[in-house]
Amino acid sequence: MERWSWPSGGAWLLVAARALLQLRRADLRLGRPLLAALALLAALDWLCQRLLPVPVALAVLAATGWITLSRLARPPRLPVATRAVLITGCDTGFGKEAVKKLDAMGFMVLATVLDLDSPGALELRACCSSRLKLLQMNLMKPEDISRVLEFTKAHTTSTGLWGLVNNAGLNDIVADVELSPVATFRKCMEVNFFGVLELTKGLLPLLRRSKGRIVTMGSPAGDMPYPCLAAYGTSKAAIVLLTDLFGSELIPWGIKVSVIQPGCFKTESVMNVKLWEQRKQLLLANLPRELLQAYGEDYIEHLHRQFLNSLGKALPDLSPVTDAITDALLAAHPRRRYYPGRGVGLMYFIHYYLPESLRRRFLQTFFISPCLPRALQPGQPGLTLSQGATEGTQT
């Protein structure tokens, strides 16, 4: 073992010097990824000492450490200078926090809110610089979108528009597809797809001129069959596909396009238990009698209880998402996909590589556990033929 100490120590000295230099330049973060990488290097060192000749072991350890630190390093970033960015949905959550971060970095931020007098809008006015421009916009109203487009064109003539962050989104129901009104699907599509499409298309001339960035907030619910998020997930699947199309078609223009697929975070809208309760009561009040008999009120209560329980796993720190937005706007080579949030990588691994039955069980275990509708529970008479025919005509 003694004959290995000097070569091994030399390789570790090289790795340590590179890591310290990157930490000093803020190209590297002292966190779990770095500690995990160092632990793996230590395991590799142990193997090399036992299996390889000294020169080969030294080369393997040094090269692996160098490559690992290169992969962990933050990509080079563009200067902020006088860049202008439009962010939608800034009343709460990711949008509000992104505005604060980008404003502090020196961006000229145009932020849209549903209500100019909302608590979030008032907070942004109080804590941000005079560069911030707050705009009222509802993505379901074409006149609002047109007004924001005209304002953006008029107020970015000197700076140009560098980035568009499509953050605004809507999810207002937790229910099976059959229990969700078609109007809810249309409403989600109007906000999460058609509104984003109209705004993005309207800003493309400005973004083409600046060779800028488009950043769109997606959701894992758009990639996986999350129980009871059908309307929301379907609209997110549509907008992510559209964003990928933009990403391919705008390459010749120099526009870079990214999608952020965040895990569950404690935003104000997500954690508003009172609002979810109101939406549940509205669903129960408007559900056709035959469907309510078939599924039962207990079934819907169970779904909402499980959904609210799942929010207990939400992360309070929104910085992974705002960091992803910043990187997508400023990295010289931004990623096409960002997956901020604990466990999101594992979730996608399970979704892509494990059998369908295990994927479904995973989502049920960590999101909403299964519950039998009333008509399928033991001892229940089940659906009559006339009831089944009636429900078939409604769906």
Residue 301's CB: how many other CB atoms inside 10 A?
13
- Cα–Cα distances in Å, from 106 out to 73, 113, 154? 23, 21, 20
**φ, ψ for residue 367, nearest 5 deg:** -130, -80
Distance (Å, whole) CA 169 – CA 218: 9
- Cα–Cα distances in Å, from 366 out to 307, 314, 361? 10, 12, 9
H or E element, residue 350 = helix 344-353
CB 85 within 8 A of CB 165: yes
Distance (Å, whole) CA 264 – CA 320: 11
- Cα–Cα distances in Å, from 372 out to 52, 111, 152, 302, 380? 59, 45, 51, 10, 11
Structure tokens, 284: 């129960």
Distance (Å, whole) CA 343 – CA 324: 16
Residue 388's CB: how many other CB atoms inside 10 A?
13
Residue 391's CB: how many other CB atoms inside 10 A?
16
Active site residues: 232
